[in-house]
Amino acid sequence: MSVPARRRFIQVAGTAVAAACAAPHWLQAAPGIGPSRPVRLIVVYPPGGVSDGMARVLADPLAQALGVPVLIENRPGAGGSLGMDTLARSAPDGSTLAFSAISPLTLHPLISHGRGGTSNDTLRGGISNDPLRGVVPVASVMRTPVLVVGTPAFTGRGFGALIAQARQQPGAVRWATSGVATIGHLVLAQVRVQSRTDITHIPYQGGGPQLNDALSGQFEVLSTNVAAQQLQYIEGGRFQPLAVGSPARIEALPEVPTLAELGFEKANRDSLFGIFAPARTPGALVQRLNTQINRVLRSDTVRERLQGAYNLPAGGSSEDFAREIAADLRRNRELMAGDRSQFD
């Protein structure tokens, strides 16, 4: 090899090595995914809600960690199951992920099974026995408390007054949630079971669309994830805080009791959100994605953004996340072994 040719070879080889060293480790071992192939992050809820906002917080630092753009795509419907179905049908190469609460895997199949709740055959077909038939958990991201508020249509004071009104006027109290088979629906169902009241369920397609109706008093009660906007409405006197679903009272509302303190232990639930991939994604790629997501979650900026929105950063291994999903599915099965009609 001539000297000029050898010099050109060394220059090209050096450039290739430098590029490989600069790329995130998981991209080096994942052919077909590179800077020219953006990652699609499906958010299984509508724009404007808590989950959509947090997914957008994660998108930029995750893109920096992965070395490719991360593009948000909202796919709402069927309590999040439509978006998860889209994920399950995607190529298992890391180019499509989903951000979702675990309820599409652990609650929606139990409620919709047998009554045509969704056409999600790929995902739902195996969920009654195996919640992870169509998707694989990559990493848990955050836990979000559930907030129960009275709207301008609710004239009572406190959670006890809500239950008293529901007993005195069966069906007159309307309770809105972000959809059938969501955590807010589970909270409502458990309150109805334990209090033996008839409260009318008003399901919406996600957390964002229900806020305007809540502010105009289209229903009496709203259960939603805790967020800065809802807290502003509480401070302004437009919402009355009634209870929170959380292991302990939250710092932003120290005077508001948990549902467990009010005697509704089974209704005292929060939302666990995470990132998922198609089920056939290679284990090594899932692990590399998990590593990068955990690095993002440990960054001061992301932790501050999550905590500033009253979320508790999660994280951990994909195996730990899968175990939490399995435990939640077992717990929900036990809850629904009682009066299933309360979940309609």
Q: What is the model's pLDDT at position 11?
A: 40
pLDDT band at 99 (very low <50, low <70, confident <90, very high): very high
Residues 264 and 191: their CA atoms lie apart, in Å, by 7
Residues 55 and 76: their CA atoms lie apart, in Å, by 14
Last residue of a domain, one of 269, 292, 308: 269
Q: Which of 8-22, 62-76, 79-93, 278-292 has the lowest mean pLDDT?
A: 8-22
184 has pLDDT over 50: yes
**Is 166 a member of any domain?**
yes
One domain for residues 168 and 236: yes
One domain for residues 138 and 158: no
One domain for residues 163 and 83: no
Q: What is the model's pLDDT at position 338?
A: 63
One domain for residues 130 and 227: no
One domain for residues 136 and 280: yes
Q: What is the model's pLDDT at position 341?
A: 60
Last residue of a domain, one of 269, 291, 317: 269
One domain for residues 137 and 276: yes
One domain for residues 164 and 81: no
- The domain spanning residue 323 has which CATH number? 3.40.190.150
**Is 68 a member of any domain?**
yes
Residues 26 and 34: their CA atoms lie apart, in Å, by 10
- The domain spanning residue 185 has which CATH number? 3.40.190.10
**Is 171 a member of any domain?**
yes
Q: Which of 16-25, 83-92, 208-217 has the lowest mean pLDDT?
A: 16-25
User: Which residue intervals of the chain are DSSP H helices?
Assistant: 3-22, 25-28, 50-66, 81-88, 103-106, 108-112, 121-127, 159-168, 183-195, 210-215, 228-235, 283-298, 300-308, 318-336
Last residue of a domain, one of 231, 253, 269: 269
pLDDT band at 130 (very low <50, low <70, confident <90, very high): low
Q: What is the model's pLDDT at position 344?
A: 59
Q: What is the model's pLDDT at position 112?
A: 61
One domain for residues 157 and 306: no
**Is 28 a member of any domain?**
no
One domain for residues 166 and 262: yes
Residue 248 structure tokens: 């302990």
**Angle between helical axes of 300-308 and 50-66 (0-180°, round to 10):** 180
One domain for residues 81 and 117: yes
Based on the structure, what is the number of domains in the chain? Answer: 2
One domain for residues 135 and 247: no
The larger pLDDT score, comparing residue 167 to residue 48, is at 167
Residue 226 structure tokens: 């805790």
**Is 12 a member of any domain?**
no
Q: What is the model's pLDDT at position 296?
A: 95
* pTM listed for this prediction: 0.78
Which residue range is the domain that position 182 belongs to? 146-269
**Is 13 a member of any domain?**
no
Read off the pLDDT of residues 189-218 as tens digits, 9 standing for 90 and up. Answer: 999 999 999 999 999 876 667 888 999 999
257 has pLDDT over 90: yes
One domain for residues 121 and 160: no
**Is 8 a member of any domain?**
no
**Is 98 a member of any domain?**
yes
**Angle between helical axes of 183-195 and 318-336 (0-180°, round to 10):** 30
Q: What is the model's pLDDT at position 28?
A: 40
